[in-house]
Amino acid sequence: MRLTPICVAFAVLALGGGARAADPAANPWFKDGRAAVARAAAGAKIPHAKSAILFVGDGMGIATVTAARILEGQRRGASGEENLLSFEKLPYTALAKTYTVDFQVGESAGTITALMTGVKTRSGVLGVDESAARGDFAQAKQASVPTLLERAEDAGLWTGVVTTTTVTHATPAGCYAHTPERNWENDSLLTPGARAAGFPDIARQLVEFAHGDGIEVVLGGGRSNFLPAPEGSRGDGRDLVSEWKKRHADGRYASSRDELVALDAKHARRLLGLFTPEHMSFELERAAATPPSEPSLSEMTAKALDVLTRSPKGFFLMVEGGRIDHGHHAGDAQRALSETIEFSNAVTVALEKTRRSDTLIVVTADHSHTLTISGYPKRGNPILGLVVGSNGEGGAGTEPVNDLTGRPYTTLNYANGPGYPGRSDTQPEGAKHFPHRPTAVEGAKLGRPQLTNAEVQDPNYLQEAPIALGAETHGGEDVPIYAGGPGAALFHGVQEQNFVYHALAAALGLATP
């Protein structure tokens, strides 16, 4: 088939080659980010980091960190408040502003693009600047901006992407893909126009990635985006897993935890692991399986580092705790917080497997959620439980505190979402747990439910929300940044989110496009 000029352009884009019209150095966001790093350095020489790891807790706002910290401590038998998650022990902190150029409250595609390219952009797009309208594939090439992972590959560093979502989801895709629509994970999800023009879907862009010698490690879910029907979701008949294997004769592929564990990663040159057809399981379900069929985030991080730490020139790795976000969207704090604790475990693995003297570790979030911690629960009160304390700042009692309608309430709630009064559980298995719960409309008429501690601490309980939505939304407040290692001192103050890219690039010696 003869390719039209636009097909040729997109084929080149998919392979990562050719000149791109967008000059990031001329972008105001890019220039401002560089200037912010210079101010943060205060004239001092920025220490060189041989390697860097960016941990992204998807949706991990400050309330999530606090609640997860307490939950982890309580699961260990302590009161919880005095506990610290692993990354909270890193020596430097900052705050990042997460708005996108078109939305006050951002989302994962626009925010990971800021983190990975140094420019702020629109919500819903990946690896392109704000000149590209969402969904306009014709603008993608000229709006494309290089990612930190691409630049690391071009400089000879080894690279990796680890996630608990599909590896083509917004955050992991932001490391390697350039597309005006985050949802184009496989070809069947493209618009007819984009498909006719030969625009590469995100899974194709991953397999056809041509910077450096290719990404060394990719681990996560989303196998269906790489395979044709009936096993997969692709409509073009291509088996991208087989294509990846042909491209990388030195690579090893795993589709289960057992296969990943069996791999001798200390001698493998590169790894591709696709462990589930869609997103990987929540940690609560994964860990409960006997034995688990999927690896944990910390296990994937450990295996990735077994490969990447052998790089003579250093490496760049992005690790995402992607299902923190999914738990929050479901209004399910227990699952979101359990994901955050496992995310912290993955950071512990990285700290153990790397040297503080040559590896910069940065932990942040792409955006927040509407989780709140409120009431006046007494010290050590179960973070997932009913408030036992007081209605004011006086002495704490021993029984749950009631609201003005005479009903108890929980410490954790959401500002909006599916946990509208009377609809505290919408999981498919919820009916067998809470068959007495009315529908949302009935609940609104009846008022708040008469909650019990057993109910609210059940894994399938959804925290109450005063605004009824099918899915809880993101929150718009600043998110934390924690850092340790060479260059970590750059992280202080309140920064635009694209600052993270510039600080990482400066520490790795990749400051010039």
Q: What is the pLDDT of residues 105-147, one digit of tens each?
A: 999 999 999 999 999 999 999 999 999 999 999 999 999 999 9
Residue 442, in any domain of the structure: no
Q: Closest Cα to residue 491, out of 36, 19, 27?
A: 36
Residue 407, in any domain of the structure: no
Residue 429, in any domain of the structure: no
Q: How far apart are CA 350 and CA 321, in angstroms?
A: 14
* DSSP secondary structure of 240-282: HHHHHHHH-TTEEEESSHHHHHHS-TTT-SEEEEE-SSSSPPP
Find where tokens 């991208």 sit. Answer: 240
Residue 321 structural domain: 5-371+473-508
Residue type, 143: A
Residues of the chain with pLDDT under 70: 1-21, 422-446, 512-513
Coil, strand, or helix at residue 42? coil
Q: How far apart are CA 186 and CA 172, in angstroms?
A: 14
Q: What pLDDT is recorded for position 1?
A: 30
Burial pattern 245-279, b for ≥16 Cβ within 10 A else e, equals eeebeebbbbebbeebeebebeebbbbbbbbbbeb
Find where tokens 């560093």 sit. Answer: 157
Report phi then psi at 436, rounded to 5.
-85, -10
Task: Find the catalytic residue in 108, 233, 338, 424.
Answer: 108
Residue 115, in any domain of the structure: yes
CB atoms inside a 10 Å sphere around CB 101: 15
The number of folded domains in the chain is 1
Residue type, 347: V
Predicted TM-score (pTM) of the model is 0.93
Residue 177, in any domain of the structure: yes
Report phi then psi at 224, rounded to 5.
-65, -25
Contacts of 128 by beta carbon, 8 Å cutoff, 6+ apart: 22, 113, 121, 139, 140, 143, 144, 145, 178, 179, 180
> What is the CATH classification number for the domain harbouring 48?
3.40.720.10
Q: How far apart are CA 437 and CA 338, in angstroms?
A: 25
Cis geometry, peptide bond prior to residue 421 (ω within 30 degrees of 0) = no
Residue 267, in any domain of the structure: yes
Residue 458, in any domain of the structure: no
Cis geometry, peptide bond prior to residue 146 (ω within 30 degrees of 0) = no
| Known catalytic membership, residue 256 | no
Residue 461, in any domain of the structure: no
